[in-house]
Amino acid sequence: MAPTTVLITGANRGLGQGLLQRYLALPNHTVIAGNRDPNHATSQALNDLPKADGSKLIVVKIDATVEKDAHDAVKELQEAHGITHLDIVIANAGISYALPTVADLKISDLQTHMEPNVYGVVALYQATRPLLRKSSKEPMFVPMGSTAGCIEHRSKRNQPPIPNAVYGPSKAAVNWLTVRMNAEEDWLNAWVLIPGWVQTDLGNAGARGLGLEKAHIGVDESCDGMMGVLAAASKEKYGGKMVAYNGNFPAW
């Protein structure tokens, strides 16, 4: 039986590392970390994570701001590591460093967020699509989403009033693209995964912007929930939808 092969970008810290750690703990899994710098100490430390029987870790370079990186990584996986298929690709890498209003945002900041958060997701999808097509299972392409990109949640009544005029639009674009991926490919289960408001660097920065000490959800709680959602996924159930870590379906 072929191992389940999972690729996660931005897997050297936070949610990406949490998911990678949990997949490595499952038997017969090949888990690929697509990190911006495989030689960084945080990437090297992944080699020390416990691995279940038949499971292994591969670390490759994928910088979400470099279009060719994902294609180069797929070539390396095939030629140097003998990877013949991918079952799950989780597009986790992304940035958020500014919280402007629309009136105050800098176009350069919007462009900088779009590059990894949107263009990087598209490049990853295009690069990994041929190997996903070769999966003997129902392959999944799963971008990490955020309710910051939800149109129906943008009122102050429904969402904390965080001025999010660069990160939010980038996540809204990913929502649209993922729905289209799922519609265009009968064989692919593409859907958006919402981790919740998590105590990562990004989540806590947003919390401090609201005068809070930290975000609401711990990394372990979020990752445990997301693993359950990923394990239960099917195209019929999740395809083209946005699914939260707790199994809820947030409105677009």
Give kind and range of the element (H or E) at residue 142: strand 140-143
Q: How far apart are CA 224 and CA 144, in angstroms?
A: 15
54 secondary structure, DSSP code: T
23 is catalytic: no
217 secondary structure, DSSP code: B
How many CA atoms are closer than 13 Å to the CA of 195, on its beta-carbon side? Answer: 28
**Residues with Cβ within 8 Å of residue 39, at least 6 apart in sequence:** none
Residue with tokens 């958006």: 192
Q: How far apart are CA 81 and CA 246, in angstroms?
A: 35
Q: Answer whether 60's CB lies under 8 Å from 38's CB.
A: yes
CA angle 78–80–82, rounded 5-degree value: 50
56 is catalytic: no
Please state whether beta strands 140-143 and 88-91 pair in parallel, antiparallel, or not at all (unpaired).
parallel
How many CA atoms are closer than 13 Å to the CA of 221, on its beta-carbon side? Answer: 10
Give kind and range of the element (H or E) at residue 29: strand 29-35
Q: Answer whether 235's CB lies under 8 Å from 132's CB.
A: no
Which residue among 23, 125, 171, 238 is the active-site one?
171
Q: Is the dihedral of CA 165, 166, 167, 170 positive or negative?
A: positive
Active-site positions read 167, 171
